[in-house]
Amino acid sequence: MLELRDYQRASINALYEYWGKGGGNGLIVLPTGAGKALVIAKIIEELLSDYPSMRILNVTHAANLVGQNYKEFVGLLPFAPAGIYSAGLKRRDASAQVLFCGIQSVWNKVAQIGEIDLVIVDEAHAISRNSDTQYGKFFEAVREANPDSRVCGTTATDYRMDSGRLTEGDDRLFDDVVYEIGIGDLMEQGYLTRLTSQKTAAKINLKGIGTRGGDYIPGQVAEAAEHIIEEAIAEDMIASADRRAGLFFCTSKENAIHIRDAIRRHGRTCEALTSDNAHEMDRIFTAFKAGELWSIVSVNMITTGTNFPFVDFISLLISTKSAGKLVQILGRGTRNSPGKTDCLVADHGRNLAYHGPIDQIRPREPGKGLGEQPKKLCPPDAPDINGQCGCGELIPISIMTCQCCGYVFPPNEEEKITAKADITPVLSTEKPWHVVSARSFFHHPGKPGKPDSVKVSYLVGMKQVNEWVCCAHTGYPKSKADRWWMMHGGKRPFPRDVLEFLERQAELMDTTEIQLNYERDPKYPDIMAHRVGVAAANDNREPPANDNVDWRAQMDDDIPF
């Protein structure tokens, strides 16, 4: 018998308890990768057991999700009276008691399908509040056919950019969130893979980019991205040197082709997936899963419903104000896979600087930013860059120079994001990064009967932090040493011993930052991760002195290592 995870069982029980107390349309919020398809399948199985004649529809917006949810259910209950109604899957089993549907196929077919007792919506955030949409007309027809019908839903993001939370507002479909667990909680419990950040130097310049429909204008983002693609991919190829598979997200077809070709020039395999070649999706996905492709670059084709647990590198060459879109994209990297310890995120679009860590993202209130254009005060007591104070006039918030007195306002939100250092971590619990001002290698004799190792000493501020690279060992220590060597740009074959490592150290790139964890020992931190490359241009500091000079003498460090 299949045993659910504790949070999956708790979510289902919470829905039953909600209904038992007279609740209406309930919503379950589970992060991407938490097993929503299994939760849906289990709800259907248990309801059929208690109510054998109940008619249930599971509806969603993508054919691949329809197929996944159907397979999950028949795997749980192989002989159930289940069917599919989806033009994309070329099936129209209208009379099945349990029907897995695509909204595009069934929104106007309720009369043909017949009376429905329960509709379970997967990816519920795709439902617009507009009653004229396919979902709106579908639910109206369902209620007309059976006024006692009920709706429940699952989603990873219980909010929409255009209308706020799905359970708020007079025209909401869902009445309450009956259960919710955060992405950070499931990472801590080991059910999801932790996301880590890669500091990026190549970033999309958001200055002057406009907003339409609450998000950046795609064409302007795509044009700005074109200027950084070569530099960004060069960074990503170094950062992802030891990564199994990568997903790259961008805004336009032109961006996608440019990114694909840049990755190929670096010797990696990549395919671009856009609406132009959507018919090749199955071939590309099959090759990706088989390891024949290292990466896919996508334009709105890999956000929901795709399942690649092995992906451990995500690059964002896209900028979005949609918190839901960002969470859905990054969710592609949170599924667990054998040998996968984390998923590295390279954010070239300043998304984390805008939204903050994804485990702390909160949706805006419904209706915020709508109505009369907001105003701002031309400040009479705050000098501008020219030393001139304002006049106290209320002017439109979009005006950057007061038309009454000439006061020059500081940069707007997008310009501030462009100007600030991009140091926002992808998770609020991510350990801090520290700049390395020098790095040295030393021959470290092994204990009796043990091989020697390379002692790597980093200077962080005025503190020395050490780690050991065990290139002469076997097993896990050796594989870890080889990953360290490859991440720092070292060539194959890997060094076989300490002497060869030291002789070939000129192959290695600088260590620019290290991530430190003081939880185990407050005096001697563990080094969690490294950032490599060259110090970013125009950052007003010297590049790290990774030249193996003995800087310890300058610190009166006479410890005899």
400 shares its domain with 426? yes
The structural domain count of the chain equals 3
- Is 312 contained in some domain? yes
114 shares its domain with 198? no
d(C-alpha 297, C-alpha 259), whole Å: 7
d(C-alpha 397, C-alpha 414), whole Å: 13
135 shares its domain with 37? yes
Alpha helix (H) residue ranges in 2-127:
6-20, 36-50, 63-76, 103-106, 110-113
Q: Any bridge partners for residue 92, and if so which?
A: 85
Strand order in the sheet with 463-469: 438-444, 453-460, 463-469
- Is 561 contained in some domain? no
Looking only at the bridges linking them, the beta strands covering 313-316 and 270-273 are unpaired
- Is 257 contained in some domain? yes
- Is 102 contained in some domain? yes
Residues 26 and 17 sit within 8 Å (Cβ to Cβ): no
Question: Roughly how many angstroms between the first and final C-alpha of the chain, as a whole number?
Answer: 57
Task: Specify the 3-state DSSP secondary structure of 236.
Answer: helix
Alpha helix (H) residue ranges in 241-399:
253-265, 281-289, 323-330, 351-355
Q: Which of 402, 430, 458 is the last residue of a domain?
A: 430
Burial of residue 479 (number of CB atoms within 10 Å: 0-12, 13-18, 19+): middle
Closest listed residue to residue 514, CA positions, set 441, 445, 443, 432: 432
Q: Any bridge partners for residue 118, and if so which?
A: 56, 150
- Is 276 contained in some domain? yes
d(C-alpha 387, C-alpha 389), whole Å: 7
d(C-alpha 232, C-alpha 229), whole Å: 5
pLDDT tens over the chain, length 561 residues: 578 999 999 999 999 999 999 999 999 999 988 999 999 999 999 999 999 999 999 999 888 889 999 999 999 999 999 999 999 899 999 999 999 999 999 999 999 999 999 999 998 888 776 656 788 889 999 999 999 999 999 998 887 766 667 888 777 888 999 999 989 889 888 899 999 988 899 999 999 999 988 899 999 999 999 999 999 999 999 999 989 999 999 999 999 999 999 999 999 999 999 989 989 999 999 999 999 999 999 998 886 667 899 999 999 999 999 888 898 899 999 999 988 889 999 999 999 888 888 887 765 554 444 334 455 667 766 776 666 666 665 555 556 666 556 677 776 555 455 554 455 778 877 777 888 999 999 999 998 989 999 999 999 888 899 999 999 999 888 888 988 998 888 998 999 999 999 999 999 999 988 988 887 887 888 998 888 875 443 334 444 455 555 544 444 443 333
Residues 295 and 327 sit within 8 Å (Cβ to Cβ): no
Q: Which of 407, 430, 453 is the last residue of a domain?
A: 430
User: What pLDDT score was predicted for residue 360?
Assistant: 76
Residue 145: which residues within 8 A CB-CB, separation 6 or more? 110, 111, 114, 115, 116
- Is 351 contained in some domain? yes
Residue 265: which residues within 8 A CB-CB, separation 6 or more? none
308 shares its domain with 340? yes
- AA identity, residue 488: H
The beta strands (E) that lie in 103-193 are given as 118-122, 150-155, 159-160, 164-165, 176-180
d(C-alpha 7, C-alpha 21), whole Å: 21
103 shares its domain with 155? yes
What is the domain extent for residue 95?
6-181
- AA identity, residue 138: F
Q: What is the CATH number of the domain that holds 21?
A: 3.40.50.300
Q: Any bridge partners for residue 12, and if so which?
A: none
Alpha helix (H) residue ranges in 79-173:
103-106, 110-113, 134-145
- Is 186 contained in some domain? no
d(C-alpha 310, C-alpha 288), whole Å: 10
Residues 66 and 82 sit within 8 Å (Cβ to Cβ): no
Q: How far is CA 266 from CA 12, 262, 315, in A?
A: 48, 7, 16
264 shares its domain with 206? yes
Alpha helix (H) residue ranges in 444-474:
none
Task: Specify the 3-state DSSP secondary structure of 32.
Answer: coil
User: What pLDDT score was predicted for residue 290?
Assistant: 95
DSSP element (H, E) containing 502 = helix 498-503
Residues 220 and 212 sit within 8 Å (Cβ to Cβ): no
273 shares its domain with 382? yes
Helices then strands (H, E): number in the chain?
A: 16, 26
128 shares its domain with 227? no
- Residue labelled with tokens 């989603």: 155
211 shares its domain with 98? no
Largest Cα–Cα distance in the chain? 85
Residues 554 and 446 sit within 8 Å (Cβ to Cβ): no
366 shares its domain with 483? no
Q: Which of 159, 181, 203 is the last residue of a domain?
A: 181
88 shares its domain with 39? yes
d(C-alpha 198, C-alpha 448), whole Å: 39
110 shares its domain with 256? no
Looking only at the bridges linking them, the beta strands covering 82-86 and 98-102 are parallel
